[in-house]
């Protein structure tokens, strides 16, 4: 008896040790990355302004990149979240089982496509296909700053980049949402139906509130990927360092990650430090977004808003 | 019975296929071993890094050199010119390639790395940069540096602009917008193209010469393939790219003196006749100040020149022998032809090859 106990205790201890170790390792890696970023970025912060890439100040160099990063990620989230919720609901509540299974399998498959393939697809297929539509937008809705134009003739625009990003983060968000939607207590769903709710009303009143924090958490995962996505944006976006809300012209702000990928190969010395400093900014943005999301979820749960 | 017949057929096919493949290998081996330059008993391993512009040529050189010297392993990491210079100065690599010559600080640092030997910098790769365009119905286009500069600076925005029409009286120019395509990544191609604009049209090109495209606006694309792709995909587009990568796109003939010169390897090679070597940098530093304003007949002024870096003295006998033999091959007529046929570069002129030969000869063990 004691032997089994001892064995169990050993197993417990080993497991606890491994789990704690893994947790601590993550912290160490994160701290290591932060330390690397800070130490490598430091020269860029103290360097005289005249040595910097645009000769003015680091903030002026980083700002358009931050703007582009946030803009592309925002477009991606705006498109991806509603779509992901719809896909998740379709597979968890609406579709017949075999169809639901294959749809969820195919959605997950989207996450397995390498980002460079998304990028090539973006310039070869989606970009050219978007040209007539963006031309129309520029002609008819040009008074809206978003569609001011002139429309790009190659389709390598912020709008297309955002759409490709949306497609890339869709599987992450929908997978998280689907799992939680399908965990909605059957009793609650059935009582809603028994009270005379239609299926849509049941979903609106029971499933969506139940899965809200999961949708937020999934969206944050997706947002993290959209903010940091490099290859697809590098290939698709025609960048020129401007700050504009115009989504359909060929002059777009670059994103931090894409800018690093584009400039790194030919950079040396201080330019490299500046690039890493922009990486540090991206790190900070991602961290801030995640903390904000955690707080939102935490507050909801504490308020019993589940 | 049927099955066994199938099996026999299959076996026969396999045997035949293998036999043919083996023959193919044999012949190709015999073919390439001759082109690898010296076939001394070299062995060992050296690494280089640097400009990605000469990557295709470098791969061809390395492949041929290794074929001729089976015990040798060479590697070249196309990290970019800046990274290549940095690694070479730090002593991390035995050789390296760079598109831009070293500045004073770097020369001082590299002198230390090579001491007590000297630093070697030799031009081995010259590649014409074509101005390619995609305009329906326009098969030939002649442009002067001034017009070209104004187009790329977005001062001329329509294809039927009088400035373009004047130089192309026979062309049927459409009334469409000009879409300028440039590189979005920092690149030696951009630097050389911009250098040409600022030298040949100083009044119309007020921007600084740098590897990053200096103006905001226009269409930006990643890498040579991105630029070519964007020119092809758009309409009314014009951009610059390595001539070897331009494919079936039309290219602009550029005004030199009184005539218009189309890009070609031969025309690009003439730039060394017109340009002067930068003096006072060292006995073996063949850095050229490319003169893109020369009126030399038949000279194509927009090209990228890439250099190889080395030291005259290395610690190890093996390292010294390898670098020497490799650069000997690279600067040979054979090596230059190999680069021309795989990378589409222009072979450097014979006179220049003779001039830089002593630099390669000087490499020895410390």
Burial class of residue B131 in the structure, from the number of CB atoms within 10 Å of its CB (0-12 exposed, 13-18 middle, 19+ buried): buried
Distance from CA of B96 to the nearest CA of A (A): 14
| A156 in contact with chain B, both atoms CB, cutoff 8 A | yes
Q: Which residue has the tokens 């001039």?
A: B355
- For A4-47, write each residue's pLDDT tens digit: 566 678 888 899 999 999 999 999 999 999 999 999 998 888 88
Predicted pLDDT at B33:
37
Tell me which of A159-163, A260-264, B79-83, B310-314 is least confident: B79-83
Residues 6+ apart with CB under 8 A from B154: B180, B215, B217, B218
- Tell which residue, B33, B32, B37, has the closest CA to residue B325: B37
Cα-to-chain-centroid distance, residue A118: 15
Cα-to-chain-centroid distance, residue A106: 20
- pTM above 0.90? no
What is the C-alpha separation between B261 and B267, in angstroms, rounded? 8
Please give the residue that has the higher pLDDT: either B35 or B61. B61
Q: Nearest chain A residue to B86 by CA: give it.
A: A268
Q: Nearest chain B residue to A231 by CA: give it.
A: B222
As a whole number of Å, the end-to-end CA separation of chain A is: 44
Chain A interface, mutation test: which of B230, B235, B239, most A Cβ atoms within 10 Å? B230
CB contact under 8 A, B217 and A240: yes
Chain A interface, mutation test: which of B49, B158, B184, most A Cβ atoms within 10 Å? B184
CB-facing half-sphere around the CA of A200: CA atoms within 13 A: 1
| A149 in contact with chain B, both atoms CB, cutoff 8 A | no
- Tell which residue, B49, B54, B82, has the closest CA to residue B305: B54
CB contact under 8 A, A263 and B222: no
Q: Is pLDDT at A118 greater than 70 in this prediction?
A: yes
Q: Is pLDDT at B287 greater than 60 in this prediction?
A: yes
* Beta carbons of B73 and B63 less than 8 angstroms apart: no
| Confidence bin at A75 (pLDDT 50/70/90) | very high
Predicted pLDDT at A60:
85
Predicted pLDDT at B79:
83
B184 interaction partners in chain A (CB closer than 8 Å): 234, 237-239, 254, 262
Q: Is pLDDT at B26 greater than 70 in this prediction?
A: no
Phi, psi of A274 (to 5 degrees): -65, -45
Q: Nearest chain B residue to A234 by CA: give it.
A: B222
CB contact under 8 A, A238 and B221: yes
| B97 in contact with chain A, both atoms CB, cutoff 8 A | no
Using only the alpha carbons of chain B, give its radius of gyration.
Answer: 24
What is the C-alpha separation between B257 and B200, in angstroms, rounded? 11
Mean pLDDT of A108-129: 91
* Beta carbons of B80 and A267 less than 8 angstroms apart: yes
| Confidence bin at A88 (pLDDT 50/70/90) | very high
Predicted pLDDT at B35:
40
Q: Which of residues 180-239 of A touch B (CB under 8 A)?
A: 234-235, 237-239
| Confidence bin at B241 (pLDDT 50/70/90) | very high
CB contact under 8 A, B219 and A266: no
- For B91-146, write each residue's pLDDT tens digit: 999 999 998 888 888 899 999 998 888 999 999 999 899 999 999 889 999 999 99
Partner residues linked to B49 by β-bridges? B77, B96
| Confidence bin at A240 (pLDDT 50/70/90) | confident
Distance from CA of A29 to the nearest CA of B (A): 26
Q: Which of residues 240-299 of A touch B (CB under 8 A)?
A: 240-242, 250-251, 254, 261-269, 271
Q: Is pLDDT at B3 greater than 60 in this prediction?
A: no
Distance from CA of A300 to the nearest CA of B (A): 44
* CB pairs A-B closer than 8 Å: 90
Predicted pLDDT at B272:
87
Q: Which of residues 37-76 of A touch B (CB under 8 A)?
A: 53
Q: Is pLDDT at A67 greater than 80 in this prediction?
A: yes
User: What average pLDDT does the structure give for chain B?
Assistant: 85
Partner residues linked to B158 by β-bridges? B177
Q: Is pLDDT at B19 greater than 70 in this prediction?
A: no
Give B22-25 contacts, CB < 8 A, sequence gap 24+.
none
Distance from CA of A111 to the nearest CA of B (A): 24
CB contact under 8 A, A266 and B80: yes
Joined together, the tokens standing for residue B309 give 């870096």
Measure CB to CB from residue B179 to each of A153, A155, A266 and give the nearest one.
A153
* Cα angle value B364/B365/B366 (rounded, 5°): 115
* Beta carbons of B254 and B145 less than 8 angstroms apart: yes
CB contact under 8 A, A127 and B79: no
* Beta carbons of A43 and A273 less than 8 angstroms apart: yes
Q: Is pLDDT at B1 greater than 50 in this prediction?
A: no
- Predicted ipTM > 0.90: no
* Beta carbons of B36 and B69 less than 8 angstroms apart: yes
Distance from CA of B357 to the nearest CA of A (A): 29
Chain B interface, mutation test: which of A233, A257, A268, most B Cβ atoms within 10 Å? A268
CB-facing half-sphere around the CA of A247: CA atoms within 13 A: 22
| Confidence bin at A302 (pLDDT 50/70/90) | low
Chain B interface, mutation test: which of A153, A231, A237, A269, most B Cβ atoms within 10 Å? A153
CB contact under 8 A, A265 and B184: no
Q: Nearest chain A residue to B105 by CA: give it.
A: A269
CB contact under 8 A, B82 and A266: yes
Distances in Å between the Cα of A16 and the Cα atoms of A10, A22, A25, A26 are 10, 10, 14, 16
């Amino acid at each position: 008896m004691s032997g089994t106990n001892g064995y169990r205790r050993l197993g417990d201890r080993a497991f606890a040790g491994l789990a704690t170790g893994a947790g601590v390792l993550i912290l160490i890696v994160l701290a290591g990355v932060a330390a690397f970023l800070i130490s490598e970025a430091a020269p860029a912060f103290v360097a005289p302004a005249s040595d910097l890439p645009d000769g003015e100040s680091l903030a002026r160099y980083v700002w358009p990149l931050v703007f582009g990063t946030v803009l592309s990620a925002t477009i991606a989230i705006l498109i991806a979240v509603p779509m992901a919720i719809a896909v998740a609901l379709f597979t968890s509540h609406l579709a017949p089982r075999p169809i639901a299974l294959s749809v969820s399998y195919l959605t997950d498959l989207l996450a397995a496509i390498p980002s460079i393939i998304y990028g090539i697809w973006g310039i070869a297929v989606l970009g050219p296909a978007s040209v007539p539509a963006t031309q129309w937008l520029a002609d008819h809705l040009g008074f809206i700053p978003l569609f001011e134009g002139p429309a790009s003739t190659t389709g390598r625009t912020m709008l297309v980049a955002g759409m490709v990003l949306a497609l890339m983060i869709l599987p992450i968000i929908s997978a998280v949402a689907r799992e939680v939607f399908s965990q909605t207590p059957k009793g609650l769903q059935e009582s809603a139906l028994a009270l005379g709710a239609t299926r849509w009303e049941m979903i609106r009143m029971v499933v969506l509130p139940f899965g809200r924090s999961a949708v937020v958490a999934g969206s944050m995962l997706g947002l993290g990927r959209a903010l940091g996505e490099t290859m697809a944006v590098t290939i698709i976006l025609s960048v020129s360092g401007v700050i504009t809300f115009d989504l359909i012209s060929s002059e777009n702000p670059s994103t931090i990650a894409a800018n690093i990928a584009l400039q790194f190969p030919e950079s040396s010395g201080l330019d490299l430090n500046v690039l890493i400093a922009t990486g540090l900014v991206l790190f900070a943005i991602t961290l801030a977004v995640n903390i904000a999301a955690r707080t939102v979820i935490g507050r909801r749960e504490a308020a019993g808003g589940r | 019975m049927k099955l066994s017949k199938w099996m026999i057929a299959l076996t026969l096919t396999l045997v035949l296929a293998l036999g043919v493949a083996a023959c193919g290998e044999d012949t190709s081996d015999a073919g390439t071993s001759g082109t690898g330059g010296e076939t001394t008993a070299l062995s060992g391993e050296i690494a280089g890094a640097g400009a990605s512009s000469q990557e295709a040529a470098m791969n061809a050189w390395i492949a041929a050199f290794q074929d001729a010297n089976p015990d040798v392993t060479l590697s070249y990491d196309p990290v970019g010119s800046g990274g290549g210079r940095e690694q070479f100065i730090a002593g991390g690599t035995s050789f390296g390639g760079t598109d831009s010559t070293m500045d004073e600080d770097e020369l001082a640092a590299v002198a230390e790395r090579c001491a007590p030997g000297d630093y070697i910098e030799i031009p081995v790769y010259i590649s014409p940069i074509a101005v390619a365009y995609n305009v329906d119905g326009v098969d030939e286009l002649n442009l002067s540096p001034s017009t070209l500069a104004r187009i790329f600076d977005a001062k001329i925005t329509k294809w039927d602009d009088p400035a373009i029409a004047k130089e192309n009286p026979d062309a049927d120019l459409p009334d469409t917008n000009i879409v300028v395509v440039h590189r979005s990544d920092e690149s030696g191609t951009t630097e050389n193209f911009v250098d040409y604009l600022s030298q040949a049209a100083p009044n119309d090109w007020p921007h600084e010469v740098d590897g990053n495209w200096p103006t905001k606006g226009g269409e930006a694309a990643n890498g040579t393939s991105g630029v070519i792709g964007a020119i092809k995909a758009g309409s009314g587009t014009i951009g610059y790219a390595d001539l070897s990568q331009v494919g079936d796109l039309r290219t602009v003939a550029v005004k030199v003196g009184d005539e218009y010169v189309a890009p070609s390897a031969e025309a690009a090679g003439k730039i060394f006749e017109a340009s002067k070597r930068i003096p006072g940098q060292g006995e073996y530093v063949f850095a050229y100040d490319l003169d893109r304003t020369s009126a030399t007949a038949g000279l194509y002024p927009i090209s990228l020149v890439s250099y190889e870096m080395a030291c005259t003295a290395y610690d190890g006998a093996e390292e010294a022998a390898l670098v020497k033999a490799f650069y000997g091959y690279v600067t040979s007529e054979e090596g230059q032809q190999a680069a021309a046929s795989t990378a589409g570069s222009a072979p450097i002129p014979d006179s220049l090859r003779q001039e830089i030969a002593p630099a390669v000869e000087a490499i020895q063990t410390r």
